[in-house]
Amino acid sequence: MIVHVYQTITIRSLTINSLANSSVFQVGSAGLVKSLSNNFNTGGFTGPAPEIGETVSSPGAALPSVPLVPLPALR
């Protein structure tokens, strides 16, 4: 069976709030969907992440007395 699909798609505005690693965004119809995965080292990391609970600090460096990330205020 041969199916021919003819379509015209006009998009005036498109907003995507979230796109995760396994998301598929498609406009129109496709006879074949090919997957693509790109991983980029944007942080310039040279080794694996430390294990959970492992302390990470430089030798001789003092630990900060305040958190490094903003935390919500306690009520």
Q: Give 13-41 pLDDT, tens digit per residue.
A: 888 887 776 677 777 766 676 777 788 88
pLDDT value of residue 58: 60
Q: Which residue has the higher pLDDT, 5 or 60?
A: 5
Are the CB atoms for 27 and 11 separated by under 8 Å? Answer: yes
Q: Is the dihedral of CA 44, 49, 54, 70 positive or negative?
A: positive
